[in-house]
Amino acid sequence: MAVSETQGSAPYRFFRMVVLMGGAILAGMVQLAILPALPEMGAHFAGDGWDGTLVAQYVTTISALSMAVGGPLAGWAAGRFGKRWVLLSSALAYGITGGIGAYAPDLWTLLASRLLLGVAASGYVTVGVSLIGDYYPEPAQRDRLIGWFTIIGGAGSLVVLQAAALLTEHGGWHGPFALYLSGIPLFLIGLFTVSEPRREAALATAGQWGPVARAWGIYVMLILVSISMYTVTIQGAFLMNEQGLTDPATIANVMLMTSIGTVVGAYMFRFVRPALGFSLTLALTWGLLALGNAGFASTLNVWLLAACAGLVGIGSGFNTPLMTTAVMGAVPPSATANAVGVAMGCLFLGQFLHPPALTPFRAAFGLHGAFLWMGGLSLAAAVLAILWSFRGRQRAVA
């Protein structure tokens, strides 16, 4: 029998929240956990005759593609089998497929495990966020919790990177894969704390693609924002190298500011969103990305580079809760799993599409110019969002 979301003791509700919020860390850990191990991983596979650097990059990024597919797939499965089943299955699969990486006998097994890990991670996040909306349907409380979801993800990334570095130091490139085993205790806790909130509504989700499709504008916007917000994260180290900043510690400290900024932005979201509304918060998000991307290409000062990375991080901290709450508010409760699934797919699709989207600008103007173009396009998007907000207000008055 399903337990009502309002039932249970305080410890019961606490551990249920641990399970739901855990998805924020699991999703970020897919790529972050192995970053410190990439040089050793590359050296290992280079000894087998591969291009070690290229292989290490593929091992890192291949999961982004499966995460883009896994979100919509999880939404469909939640409607077919129930949200509780999908969440628990994803947690268990995350622990198993992630842990396999440490013992993969060859590269192809490792890549296959990474693909499955991406599906499991996006499935967990999709259903976890959807369940937050089910358990806490009041919009203000729901938005606040989704903001905390992003905060936990950003703060968790700092801990994950430190833990991964220690595990790499003591266990080689296999060591950080142990972090993925955290999916298994979350599975065990979830067995006793996560219930199906509304079985009849969950089953109805299978036929709730119409409302999801009508939110297509939000999904397109999410992809575009995601392409811009990964500019510093993916390309920043290469640009700093081009500009003569080659010290690994300096690069790491600058890039760390994106994660810190994400935590700050996610915390600020709960104050900014009610005050500005959707359109102006979106404009602020684009504006921060514009300043951060263009500013990053316009200075050699390490402190200013860190500040620009922080601005991009704050914009990223706004983006995820803003778009997630927007799609959840645009569909009926029975369609939230599908809606959040597509939203998560779009977020990771934007990450996957960033390199090919930036390539034409990089080829025509160089990496420095590509940053400036991304900043300029983001600024144009901010202006359009402001105009959209004014137009909406004029319609309301009329």
Q: Over 70: is that where the pLDDT of 2 sits?
A: no
Decide whether 1-207 matches 210-390 in CATH topology: yes
Q: Give residue 11's pLDDT.
A: 86
Pure H helices in 297-335 = 302-330
Q: Over 80: is that where the pLDDT of 82 sits?
A: yes
104: left (phi over 0), alpha (psi -120 to 50) or beta: beta
pLDDT in tens, 104-140: 888 889 999 999 999 999 899 988 988 988 888 787 7
Burial 298-323, CB ≥16 within 10 A → b, else e: eeeeeeebbbbbbbbbbbbbbbbbbb
Q: How confident is the model at residue 89 (pLDDT cuts 50, 70, 90)?
A: very high
CA dihedral defined by 273, 215, 90, 18, rounded to 10 degrees?
20
Spatial separation of the C-alpha atoms in residues 294 and 272, rounded to whole Å: 24
Superfamily covering domain 1-207: MFS general substrate transporter like domains (1.20.1250.20)
Between 294 and 24, the more confident residue is 294
Q: Give residue 364's pLDDT.
A: 92
pLDDT in tens, 169-202: 888 888 889 999 999 999 999 999 998 876 444 4
Output the six-digit token pair for 52. 């070690």
Task: Indicate the length of the chain as a whole number.
Answer: 398
Residue with tokens 């309002």: 6
Q: Over 70: is that where the pLDDT of 203 sits?
A: no
Q: Does domain 210-390 bear CATH number 1.20.1250.20?
A: yes
Contact indicator for 95, 187 with CB cutoff of 8 Å: yes
Model-level pTM? Answer: 0.75
| Per-domain boundaries in the chain | 1-207, 210-390
Between 14 and 396, the more confident residue is 14
Spatial separation of the C-alpha atoms in residues 19 and 21, rounded to whole Å: 6
Of the candidate ranges 77-86, 292-301, 345-354, the one whose mean pLDDT is the lowest: 345-354
Average pLDDT over residues 93-98: 95
